Chain A
Amino acid sequence: MPLDLPYFFTMVNDFEINATGRSEDLVANPLRYGLRIADEPEPVTLVIFGATGDLTRKKLIPALFSLFANGNISNFKVVGFARRGWSEDYFRDYVLKIINESVLSKAPESLKREFLGKCFYISSTFESEKGYQSIKEIFPLPKNRVFYLATPPVAYEKIITRLGETGLSDEGESKKFFSRIIVEKPFGNDLDSAKRLNSILNRYFKESQIFRIDHYLGKETVQNIMVLRFGNGIFEPIWNNRYVDHVQITVAEKEGIGTRGNYYDKSGALRDIVQNHMMQLLSLVAMEPPIDLRPDTIRDEKVKVLESIKPIPFELLTRETVRGQYSRGIVDGEEVPGYREEENVSPDSTTETFVALRVFLDSWRWAGVPFYLRTGKRMSRRITEIAIQFKNPPHILFREQSLSNTIPNSLVMRIQPDEAVTISINSKIPGYTLEMRPVNMSFRYGSTFGEDPPEAYERLLLDVMNGDSTLYTRRDEIEASWRFITEILEGWGKLGERELPQYRAGSSGPDEAKKLLSLEGRRWRKL
């Protein structure tokens, strides 16, 4: 693969000096005029807690090497921090193996060697103060630090506390250097635990230092939702309850839970997907236009959406929500076990692997418009998409000719796979009669640009180093989302095994989910 080293820096944090050559960010330097400069990250030490785990192997090391190989970062250290008694050399061999198995495996050996020279390892438990002291002593520079919690959530509190106690969270009075922390999902498992985790974080870190990651927001197509809505003039005027009949958000996976039984059986689809990824998609699709692109301006608008979600009380639970659990079935031609037969899953588990919700937003724009959310494992197809279903024309002129053959217009934003935006319209079929049929106008990312977008983690890591929190979730977003989710979880807890239909692996979910829409004369989009 050719290694294209970009010379233009990303537009992240760009500022453009106005015509007078002045900017609030700078002492007026007339040479800056017209130079779109994204400030390269300052020198930084990135400490990865859980450096021997899956996330580091699959995402973090490949992303960091890609950023380095593309010239986005140059002055940095990566410090792996984990329990295993590895030596530095062993860790570097491990990192090299990861690079050699990544898409950048063909990068020049000299580049790989240079990257390895920036990798270090501390073998320590997460409790031991000594390990944290050695971060300070062995790696005093770069003094800017980013701590990545790539560990199971159970370790978060210990690590955060130790970072605070050893002064590693301090940015100093003058703030000449930074200390930032990235917290992976799951961020809590209900509202109380999320609040508690936020409190622990806030004990030692200010909100501006905390970066709660949701890798969905790093995906190019998720970012494109805002561009599509606010970068084009034709959509916003119809993006409201006057023209939109309903919205469907689908995150369907073909995979089962794999080796994640221990985690998943305590979590379930509502916590694993809806609370974070789907709530983020919902807020991006329903938010009001922000007045600018500053992180907090955007997040202010997103949190308004989350706070406007109508709660689903227990008495409405079975009407507005459907959960399900996959049973044995066939996926991609292969027989797969049912959920309760999976490794590390209780045989009488009531954990949901499928969720469908009908959600309403208490807002002027969206009053009366249902948002249907569905996610599931072991579905017939892997697909993530948002479909805006528009209302029929107020007067159906062609009723007799083609009523059965037409569909309401829809705009579908497919997030993965084959990222695309498709608008379906009705068109006349060539011939002497006035017959109509639906046709699609499609824009496919992969069919338009020949380049693969950067991996989500690359963008997100670069943003942290640059201090840009736009694509990270803020405390109030997390808590608003958990507030809605926790009420459902508590209701399901009361229901126990009741109302937990099974669905065949390889299907599109339980029949009950279909009723959620069919009672209103609507139906789910085909998977």
Chain B
Amino acid sequence: MNGIVSPVEIEKQLKLTLERQSDKGVIGTRTSLFNLVIFKRAFVPGPSDSALDFLLGKRPARIIHVDCGYPDDTRVSVFARCYPDRRDRTVCFEEVLINNGRDGKGIDPGMWSPILIHDLPTYLWWLKELVPIPEDFLNALEYGDKMLIYSSFNERVYNENPRLIFKGIAQLIEDEKEIPVIIDFSWVRLFALRKFIARLFDERVDALYGIREIAVKNLQRSEALLLFFWFASRLDWRGGKIDDDFISFRDKKNREVLLRHEVVGSMESGVKIDFSFEGFPKLSIGCDSLGCMEEERSNERVQFKIPGEGEILLREVDSLMHDDAYYEAIRVTLEME
């Protein structure tokens, strides 16, 4: 099916497509649980395809792809993907692909919002530029229950400054009280690392208030910043200054805390973090595929599992909760010089 068609026609075509899928020897098709609208640049490889592959077979959903940057007029096509489970029932995605053309109609909510299944939660996944926050992003928020962003993707692909991404989002949350939940994949990827670090300080809480320096190797810039901002928000550090080489804050006793992001790399290749304290011995930790450990206690490893994008997507579409810790972390950017 090509060209702009009415929502009624799209529904009809989706029904027919699903019926054709269901004829393939399966018993029954599950009812969709939610809508997911993915905004991305056409021809730019992104994480959504592999994440959807992971989700397929686990949650039935209506997926609307809004692919931007087509040279022609906006076009719409529909398709369905089904995956039989062990009981030979299918879990299907009803999918609508909107190629947003030069007329810009495809990204307009008037185009895609009538195709949302009414009364189901709607998740939006924004994989387009975020600096400055685009008008289309703001327009989409009204129709979503949760907005997913992926700051390290934007950093990598669009070369956007992650601090500005966080600042834009934080400002939005500050200004607009009625916006849906916003979650950053990069923040969620840090979960296991944050958990390990938090546990580490259970036994040495006092040392947290003596941190003088943290040096991180092998994270994306956005991930490193999120980690630093997390520390800053939890420990009430103020007066943040950011430089190419380091970030500094003042702790509650007005002492300087230096945060260095020494090597840009992927978390998967192994993260190393060195902590220096006032009044406490240095602490170094490492996390890689074998687990996380303190360097002093290298025989005591705990599992370190970095979630894949599909795992994150699955988790996020099962929940409408927001994460206060994330909001507080990125709010730090609003007070930085």
- Please report A residues at the B interface, Cβ cutoff 8 Å: 4-8, 21, 26-35, 37, 40, 71, 74, 446-452
The reply to whether A35 and B195 form a contact with Cβ atoms under 8 Å apart is yes
Chain B residues within 8 Å of chain A by Cβ, number:
40
Known: A8-B191, A8-B315. A446 touches B87 (CB 8 A): yes
| Complex CA–CA separation, A30 to B306 (angstroms) | 23
The reply to whether B58 and A30 form a contact with Cβ atoms under 8 Å apart is no
Chain A hits for B85, CB < 8 A: 446, 450, 452
| Complex CA–CA separation, A355 to B324 (angstroms) | 53
**Is B240 close to A, CB under 8 A?**
no
How far apart are A317's CB and chain B's nearest CB, in angstroms?
Answer: 43
| Complex CA–CA separation, A33 to B325 (angstroms) | 7
24 contacting pairs across A/B (C-beta < 8 A): A4-B311, A6-B305, A6-B311, A7-B307, A26-B202, A29-B202, A31-B194, A31-B201, A31-B230, A33-B325, A34-B323, A34-B324, A35-B191, A37-B198, A71-B305, A446-B87, A446-B89, A447-B89, A448-B30, A449-B59, A450-B30, A450-B59, A450-B83, A450-B85
Counted as pairs of residues, one from A and one from B, with CB atoms less than 8 Å apart, the total is 82
| Complex CA–CA separation, A34 to B30 (angstroms) | 34
* A34 to B, closest residue via Cβ: B325
Known: A447-B30, A448-B31. A7 touches B306 (CB 8 A): yes
The reply to whether B201 and A450 form a contact with Cβ atoms under 8 Å apart is no
Name 9 extra pairs, CB < 8 A, besides A33-B234, A447-B28, A450-B59: A8-B191, A31-B197, A31-B198, A31-B234, A33-B324, A71-B305, A446-B87, A446-B89, A450-B57
Chain A hits for B89, CB < 8 A: 446-447
**Is B42 close to A, CB under 8 A?**
no
* A8 to B, closest residue via Cβ: B315
- Please report B residues at the A interface, Cβ cutoff 8 Å: 28, 30-31, 33, 57-60, 83, 85-87, 89, 91, 191-192, 194-195, 197-199, 201-202, 205, 208, 230-231, 234-235, 302-303, 305-307, 311, 315, 323-326
The reply to whether B191 and A7 form a contact with Cβ atoms under 8 Å apart is yes
| Complex CA–CA separation, A383 to B143 (angstroms) | 42
The reply to whether A40 and B202 form a contact with Cβ atoms under 8 Å apart is no
| Complex CA–CA separation, A450 to B85 (angstroms) | 7
The reply to whether B191 and A29 form a contact with Cβ atoms under 8 Å apart is no
Chain B hits for A31, CB < 8 A: 194, 197-198, 201, 208, 230-231, 234
| Complex CA–CA separation, A40 to B192 (angstroms) | 12
Chain A hits for B191, CB < 8 A: 7-8, 35
| Complex CA–CA separation, A448 to B191 (angstroms) | 28
| Complex CA–CA separation, A452 to B87 (angstroms) | 10
How far apart are B81's CB and chain A's nearest CB, in angstroms?
Answer: 12
* A103 to B, closest residue via Cβ: B86
* From A30, A74, A450, A452, residue with most partner B Cβ within 10 Å: A450
The reply to whether B28 and A448 form a contact with Cβ atoms under 8 Å apart is no
* B306 to A, closest residue via Cβ: A7
Chain B hits for A33, CB < 8 A: 234, 324-325
| Complex CA–CA separation, A28 to B208 (angstroms) | 11
The reply to whether A21 and B311 form a contact with Cβ atoms under 8 Å apart is no
Chain A hits for B208, CB < 8 A: 29-31
Chain A hits for B205, CB < 8 A: 27-29
Chain A hits for B311, CB < 8 A: 4, 6-7
